[in-house]
Amino acid sequence: MHKLKSLYLVDVHVFYALAISLQGLHDLEVLFLQQNDFELIPDGYFIGLSNLQKLYLRQNHFTDIWAEAFRGLDSLEILSLSENFLRKIPDVSHLKTLNSLDLYDNEISEITADDFLPFKDLDNFEILNLGKNGVTSLQADTFIYLHRLTVLRLLQNKISHISSEHFQGLDSLKILQLYKNNIPVIADGTFSQLNQLEELLLADNSISEISSGTFEGLNHLQVLDLSNNNLREIPVDSFESLPKLKSFSLRDNQLSELQNGLLINQTSLEKLDVSENALVSLHPALLSETHNLENVDLSYNHLSSIPAELFAETHNITNIDLSNNQLSSIPPGLLAGNYSHNRLYLYLWNNQLETLPDLFGSRDDPFLTFKGVRLVISNNPLQFDSRLSWLQEAIEDMWVKCLSIPLGGNRTILYPEIHDQLIELCTRDNTG
């Protein structure tokens, strides 16, 4: 037992009985004491565990942590106190090696700069989780002493206002999670001091307005999530200052238009999600600068057509979702320039397509390196006639794999041999 490295004591309810036995576990590195209904930690309880690196005390009944509770934990890096009933930030000044503090789902509804004064000399402290605490507001300079912090989680609170003064001192911050709050508007320059930020999550708020300067200063931002908000329109230059953006979501807003130029300078963008909006059309040059785009989701909009030039410059595309729109036609050769990858998933299900033209152009092109196209076209009123003969040939040549296809229903099938052959080929694809 003295050489034990990890100890898991979950739902055992023997807190005080452990005091003597814990003192002998000098080599212990990981300790789980969760779901035990513990209400307090006596001062010096963990003395003797000088090699402990990870301590998990989640899902207990702590309302307060005594000042000397963690004395002796000279090597502790990760401390989890999530899902308890704490009302204030615990004093962790003794934990000189602390890297991560998890306070998710407690009752710390008010936080001030004084709460973090004991953190000032914690040179390794980088990760703080204050999610789901009922925080309603932030004070100026709240995090001024956390200049080494790289991850700040403020998700699932009740914050309704943020400004640049709230983030002063966070010079090293790379990840900021503010999703599931009550933020309606983000003013210009709110994040301007966070010039190292790489990930900003603002989903599930009530944001109805952003401006040209909202994301000013975020030159290193790679992930931006604005999904499930109330955006109706976006200024065309809102994202010009985000040259390193790789993943961008505007899913589930109320956008009826994406202006041409909205994605200017987005040469690093790999994933774009604008699904579940009210888009009725797209500008032909919308994606003209997204040369590294791999995944685009345009599903659940009101699109009735797609510009023939939309994907002309997206040579690395691997996933295109156009499902659940009102598409009645697709331009021939829509994906003719997309040659540089091995596989493409194209989702067209639940539209109004009566036919499907040859989307890829000539297979004699020497630059065509497709190893496989995955096509989903179910729930469309397709007419199985000669216009689909290209698809039959493509499936037979094994460069298109049909994941699903309409079965015809009660409609008259003008070319039953094409219909039957496609069904047979798709069935073979899905069982092979």
235-248 residue pLDDT tens: 999 999 999 999 99
Please give the pLDDT value at position 429.
Answer: 53
How many domains does one find in the chain? Answer: 3
| Cα pseudo-dihedral 408, 411, 414, 417, rounded to 10 | 30
pLDDT class of 393 with cuts at 50, 70, 90:
confident
User: Does 200 share its domain with 229?
Assistant: yes
Mean pLDDT over residues 4-27, rounded? 76
Residue 127 shares a structural domain with residue 172: yes
Q: What is the tens place of the pLDDT at every residue in 341-370?
A: 557 889 999 999 998 888 876 555 444 444
Domain assignment of residue 102, yes or no: no
Same domain, yes or no: 37 and 120: no
Q: Mean of the pLDDT values across residues 73-99?
A: 96
C-alpha 71/C-alpha 73 separation (Å) is 6
Q: Is residue 21 situated within a structural domain?
A: yes
Distance CA 190, CA 188 (A): 6
Residue 93 lies in a domain: no
Does 202 share its domain with 285? no
Report residue 358 as tokens.
Answer: 């040859």
| Confidence at residue 176, expressed as pLDDT on a 0 to 100 scale | 98
Q: Is residue 263, in this structure, part of any structural domain at all?
A: no
Confidence band for 69, pLDDT divided at 50, 70 and 90: very high
Question: Residues 237, 323: one domain?
Answer: no
Q: What is the CA radius of gyration of the chain?
A: 28
Q: Find all residues with CB under 8 Å of 345, minimum gap 6, and list them.
A: 318, 319, 320, 374, 376
Tell me what the pLDDT averaged over the chain comes to.
Answer: 87
Q: What is the pLDDT of residue 405?
A: 54
* Position with higher pLDDT, 61 vs 417: 61
Q: Which residue, of 208, 227, 254, is where some domain finishes?
A: 254
**How much is the pLDDT for 397?**
66
Same domain, 23 and 125: no
pTM: 0.90
**pLDDT in the model for residue 325:** 98
297 and 234 belong to one structural domain: no
Answer yes or no: do 144 and 190 share one domain: yes
For residue 100, is it within any domain?
A: no
How much is the pLDDT for 414?
38
Residue 127 belongs to domain with CATH number:
3.80.10.10
Residue 22's pLDDT is 76
Asked whether residue 183 is domain-assigned, the answer is yes
Same domain, 428 and 318: yes
Residue ranges making up the domain that contains 157: 109-254
Last residue of a domain, one of 54, 76, 98: 76
Q: Do the domain assignments include residue 344?
A: yes
Whether residues 153 and 37 fall in one domain: no
302 with 243, same domain?
no
- The answer for residues whose C-beta is within 8 angstroms of residue 294's C-beta and 6 or more apart is 270, 271, 316, 317, 318, 319
Residue 87 belongs to some domain of the structure: no
pLDDT (tens digit per residue) in 152-196: 999 999 999 999 999 999 999 999 999 999 999 999 999 999 999
Domain shared by 241 and 305, yes or no: no
The b-or-e profile of 6-23 (16+ CB within 10 A means b, else e) is ebebeeeeebeebeeebe
Domain boundary residue among 254, 286, 321? 254
Q: How many residues does the chain have?
A: 432
